[in-house]
Amino acid sequence: MPSGILIINKPQDWTSMDVCAKLRGGFHEKRIGHAGTLDPMATGVLPVFVGRATRAVQFAETGAKEYLALLQLGQVTDTQDVWGNTLETHPVPADAKERLETLLPQFTGEIEQIPPMYSAVKIGGKKLYELARKGVEVERKPRQITIHSLTAVWGGKVKPGGSDQPWPESPNAVFLRVRCSKGTYIRTLCHDIGQALGCGGCMASLRRTEACGFPLSDAHNLDQVLSHPEPTALLLPVDTLFRDRPALTLSPAGEKKVRNGGALNAPKLSPGEYRLYAPGGEFLALSQAKGGKLTTVKSFYEV
């Protein structure tokens, strides 16, 4: 049975679940899931987990992500992107570039962000976008997020990796390269920066350039995967998701104990997570060292 991680360059106008559904047919495997939902209008890195590797999805959601977004200045919409209804238009100040550069540090680091009404956040058991479509707006509590880095490039000259076409040029558009934590709404970041500039703004394009430590250069176009004579050859081993954890190769006795669900004595190991391997090189489990014991967090060996 196929098992591993497939990095997809998600096409525009596809949902993340659409991609998984298509791949289930291509791999003839029901156990397929993704990490880090991308909105239909967004493109870029979508890690997809196939077969037994789906056990690792829970560990993929928390890592930092990187995006390249096109911020359209002078336009405010109800969805905070160009696909919504325009609420306001404003002239863009001539010194917008200079003012933006001084503003960006205010949006870097740990900041608070109010989730947009057009989002899947639930309040009172209802998803916000369901309420928004009925014309209902409710109060949302701000959430703390982390913007690790934020830079701007003017003039629409950016040609993101993995794309055959440059994005459109506009005198009132600026590219934002954002490295951020889970839960960050890039649409809201664009909106908030536009508000701070005084002219308004909304997101015009979005491409995820990195997720779970996998860059866009690792991604495959969906049609290339589906037409590949041996698509399983494109799968990455599941342990690549944990490549930042130290690796330990067990003795035959240690392997047997891990396969039976037992803890190992490890008095000299520093606290933290470790990758455990069988003597023959098979990835067995992600384990946690604590209190002199090494216990399995999640097993990945075939049973």
Active site residues: 39
Token digits of residue 185: 């709404």
From start to end of 163-200, where are the E strands?
Answer: 173-180
| Rounded CA separation 200/92 (Å) | 8
Number of CB atoms found within 10 A of residue 72's CB: 21
With tokens 């939902």, the residue in question is 37
SS3 123: strand
**Contact between 33 and 46 (Cβ < 8 Å):** no
Token digits of residue 67: 């995006």
| Rounded CA separation 201/255 (Å) | 56
**Contact between 201 and 74 (Cβ < 8 Å):** yes
**Contact between 266 and 273 (Cβ < 8 Å):** no
Residue from 254, 209, 291, 295 nearest 7 by CA: 209
Q: Which residues, 6 or more positions from 95, have their beta carbon under 8 angstroms from its beta carbon?
A: none
Residue 215 identity: P
